[in-house]
Structure 1
Amino acid sequence: MGVLSSATAVLLALLTPGIAHAETLDQRQEDTSRGTVVVNQTATNAQTFTSAISGTLNRVDLYLQNNSSTHDVIMELHNVTTDGAPADLLSTYTVPIGNIPAFPGGWVPITVNQPVTAMAQYAIVLRGQDAGYVQWDGADNNPYLGGNNWYRSPTWTKDFFLDLGFKTYATGVGAQTDVSVSLSATTNGILFPTVTFTATMSNTGPDLAARTVLYLRLPDDGSVTQVKLSNPESCTSTSGYILCDVGDIASLQNKSVSFQAKITSPGTHTVNATIYSPNIEANPVNNKSSATCSADTTTAFVTC
C-alpha cells in the first residue's frame, strides 16, 4: 500500500467524520509466534503502518528479544515512498538495551512525539549499533494489511507475508468503525463440484470504513485450484492468496466478494479471510473468518 500525498491526506482527514481520542491504541499486529527478524549494525528492519488518527503519535510498542547485543538500539520513524518503502527520516529515538528482555522477549514501550495524519502511511525502522543482535518477532501469512515488513540489503525490500509485532498509540481525531467479515463456502455439482467461497463484509460504524481491503489466504498445499474471481476488476489472485480493494463501506452497509474454485486433493482444506480498514477498530476479533471443505477422492465428493 502506498502513501497519500500530505495535502490529500490532510484534506481527507478534514472531510472524514471522526471522533476526538485521548491517547488510544491505533494500529496493532500482536501475533509474534510465527516469524522473526534480526536487527544489528548490518541488519536494519522496518514495519510500515497506516495511521487512523490525525494528531500526535505518542508511543510505539515493539515485541523485541535481546539475544547478544550490548549497545542501545535506534528506532526511527519515516514517511514512505509511493510503493510503501521507508523514505525520509521524521524522528529518531534511542531504545536502551537494558529495556529489551532476553528470551522469550516481550513488549517494549517507546515514548515518541511525532505528528501523524489519518490515512497516511509511516515506517517504524529499527537498527542496531553492534555485531550482537536483537530479534524483532512477528508473524507470516500477512496478518496486518495496513503495511509490511521491509528489510534493507542494501536497498529496501518488502516481505509481503511477514508483519512484525507492533502497537501504536496516538492522540487526535480519527474515524471509528467496526468492520467484520464472514466467509462461507457452498458446492455446486456432484463429482468434484465447483466450490463458491463468499466473503460478506459489514461495518456497524459509527463512521465510514475507508479504503477497506480483503485478504483471502488459500491453503499452502495448493489444494484450492482453478480460481475464478467474481470481482476481477477489484481483486487480484496470486499463488496462495487473493487481495481485494473493497473501497469504502458506509456505516450499516454490507458488501460481498466471491470466487469459485476446485478442490481435488483429499482431506480438509481451509480458506482464511481478513478484512482491514485504517480506522480505530472497535472489535478486531471479528476481522477474521474461515471456511473449511473436505474432499474424498475415492467418491469425488466435496462437502463444506
Structure 2
Amino acid sequence: MELREIEIFLTLAEELHFGRAAERLHLTQSRVSQSIKKQERRLGAPLFDRNNRVVRLTDLGIQLRADLVPGFRQIQDAVARASAAGRGFAGVLRVGVQAAWSGDLVVAAAAAFCVANRDCDIQIREVPLSDPFGGLKAGQLDLQLTIRPVEEPDLTAGPVVFSLPRVLVIASGHPLAQRPAIGMEDLADVCMLTVAGPPNYWINHHSPPRTPEGRPILRGPAVTEWETAWSHVASGRGAFIAGDWAADDRYHYARSDLAFVAIHDAPPMEWGLLWRSDAETVMLTSFVKAILEQREAMPARRAR
C-alpha cells in the first residue's frame, strides 16, 4: 500500500463516512471509493461493510487499522519534524531578560510558542545589568528583552515592547520623596547612582551628567546589579531613575525605605527586543512575533 492509500483508509476508518473522509482529504468521494476497492482487491477481502445507511469496519479492517496507525503516526511525526527543521522551527532559542517583571512576559510567550512548535525549546536566562550586550555578542544568547538605548553596529534593535513613565527611586527620608512629582532639573539636588559596565551612551542616557539647564548632577557609587542598587538607595547613598515598574510590590521593590517619585518631564523608559544582526532565523523572528502577541493580550503598561 502506498502512503496516500494508507491515509485514505485510516481517514475513512475514523470518519466511517465517504463524504466526510473525502472532504478531509480534499478528494472526491469516487476517488476515496476507488482507493478502498483497490486495497480490498489487493488483500482479497473487504475492509468495510457498507450500504446506503452505514459504513463500518470489518474484522480485517479493524486489524489493519490497529497495525497501521502506530507506523503511520511515526511517519507523520518524522515529516513534521523535518518540515519544522527546514523552516527553522526546531532547536533551542536562548532568550535573555534584564528584570523579573519583564521575564513574566517572555515566560508566557515561550509557553504558548512551544505548545504550537513542539520541537522548539525556549531557554530563558538573566542578563546582567552591568553587561547588557555581552551575552548576545558572545553567542551565549540569541534574543533578549533589554533596556534601551542600543547603539551597537552588530546588533539589531527590534520592536519596543514596553514604554514606561520614569520614576526617581530615592530613600523615603529624602526631601524629594515627599513630593508627588519632580522635574529633571531637580536631579541637581540628588546624588545619582550609576551602573558599572555598560557603554557610556547607555549610562549617560539613564544617569545624565547634567540637567536640561546644564547644572551638574553628582554621581555616586556604581552598581552592577539591581539588588545592590536598592540597598544603596535605602541607605541614602544615592538614587537612580527607573521605569514605574519599580514601584510594583509584586516584585518586592516596593519597600517602606524606598520612594518612587514621578519625573514629569522625563522621556519614557523603553524596553525592546534585541538580537545579533548576523544570526536572525525564522524561529527567532517567529518568537519575536509571539512576544508581541502576548504583550497585546496583557494589560496596558506592564505585564501582569
Instruction: Provide the TM-score with structure 2 as the length reference.
Output: 0.24
| Structure number with higher strand proportion | 1
Max Rg structure: 2
